[in-house]
Amino acid sequence: MKYLLNNYGKRFQLNFQSGKNSTLLEKSGKKFIDFASGIGVVSVGHGNQEIAEVIADQSKKILHVSNLYNIEPQEKLAEKISKLAGFELFAFFANSGAEANEAAIKLARKFGAGKRYKIYSLLNSFHGRTLGSLSATGQKKLQEKFLPMVDGFEFFKSVQDIENQIVTSSENDLPVAVILELVQGEGGIQALPKKDVQNLAKTLKSKNILLIIDEVQTGIYRTGEFLTSQIYEIEPDIITLAKGLGGGIPIGAMVTKLKDGFEAGDHGSTFGGNYLSTSVALKVLEILENEYSYGKLALKIEYFKSKLKTLQKKFPDINSHKFTNYKLLLVHLWHKKQRYNFRVILIVIELNLVIQY
């Protein structure tokens, strides 16, 4: 670790060598059950043979060319995302969720045409660590070392507060967009009230304000549907995706209803949407779509929920937050008196478990 920056702090002294499905093999020979999936990335499991075959096959053909040329799997992936979403969307591909959110912010700014530029966000939100996406993040503790932030972002406690601000504002003081996580990840796995989101979406549409939904964490069947937006029964103007889309290969996507939102030269990415990342993402979506279509995903969700209920009965001091619909979302367990701390993590590791904390 001598030549690495310390931005990740003290790392746990585990050295994983290989993995299969949800199991990781450490250098010592110990096997760990992976409950973190690389912070929501490994959507089709470790050591997935189908993914390995796509990577090997594509690497023998072509890995990368410039986006100045047609990239067939990129075009197919854009079409697949649109079809799975259930309404027409147009894609820009990047390499991460932060980059996807940067593209969304930039697209919104252009949509405002210099007349409107403010973007409303929620407190306790998280949209990335690049300067633009960090500016959209409602957590001062993450921003304070890097001030000043990009101008134009305002933060609110709730979805209702955002709507109230908009309906009471003059035409000249309206924002160009609102950016939301339907479930705040770093904010404590908090699902936004469905009705409030739906009401806000209607208000935004009536005032020509863009709705940006950050689905970096919740997209790609993480909530039981392809998009959490589908559970909320909304059609955002812009959606950002990453993490599970590549199954471990870096990829991000900003998809939008605004077909002509960007013109030539407005935005770009050297590596975004290359042959390797989009070929793998197509296979990831194929695998997950089959799991969903054949009911396998629903069965796994119900099985997990039943085991979680058993755990809660056995340990009544443990609370859980889960999605209130028929779909399981992200489960966050904690003790009433104590959130995860370093000592607890060490105990979990001793039990050969890997968790997100």
- Domains in the chain, start-ordered, CATH in brackets? 52-291 (3.40.640.10)
CA gap 288, 106 in Å, rounded: 31
Q: What is the mean pLDDT of residues 17-41?
A: 95
User: How big, in percent rounded to 5, are the helix, strand and coil portions of the chain?
Assistant: 40, 20, 45
Q: Which residue in this structure is represented by tokens 């549907």?
A: 225
Average pLDDT of the segment spanning 284-292 = 97
Alpha carbon distance 174, 119 (integer Å): 9
Of the candidates 85, 83, 76, 136, the one whose C-alpha atom is nearest the C-alpha of residue 106 is 136
Residue 329's pLDDT is 43
Q: What's residue 319's pLDDT? A: 60
Looking at residue 341, what is its pLDDT? 62
Q: What pTM was estimated for this model as a whole?
A: 0.94
Q: How far is CA 264 from CA 68, 267, 270, in A?
A: 10, 8, 14
Decide: residue 280, CB within 10 A, 0-12 exposed, 13-18 middle, 19+ buried: buried
Q: CA 233 to CA 325: how far, in whole Å?
A: 12
Say whether pLDDT at 336 is over 60: no
The per-residue pLDDT for range 142-170, each reduced to its tens digit, is: 999 999 999 999 999 999 999 999 999 99
- pLDDT at 259 (0 to 100): 97
354 vs 273 pLDDT, higher one = 273
Residue with tokens 């396998």: 296
- Determine the average pLDDT of the residues in 100-124: 97
Distances (CA, A) of 352 to 5, 24, 29, 250: 28, 9, 11, 27
End-to-end CA, the chain:
21
pLDDT grade for 323, boundaries at 50, 70 and 90: very low
Phi/psi-derived region of residue 127, left when phi > 0, alpha when psi is between -120 and 50, beta in every other case = alpha
Q: Name the CA dihedral angle for 340, 343, 344, 348, rounded to a multiple of 10 degrees.
A: 130
Average pLDDT, rounded, for the chain: 92
Is the pLDDT at 307 greater than 90? The verdict is no
User: What pLDDT score does 327 carry?
Assistant: 47
* DSSP E strands, 257-330: 318-321
89: left (phi over 0), alpha (psi -120 to 50) or beta: beta
When pLDDT is cut at 50, 70 and 90, the band that residue 348 belongs to is confident
231 vs 323, which has greater pLDDT? 231
Q: How far is CA 243 from CA 80, 277, 314, in A?
A: 17, 12, 33
Which residues, other chains included, contact 106 with Cβ-Cβ below 8 Å and sequence gap of 6+? Answer: 132, 266, 267
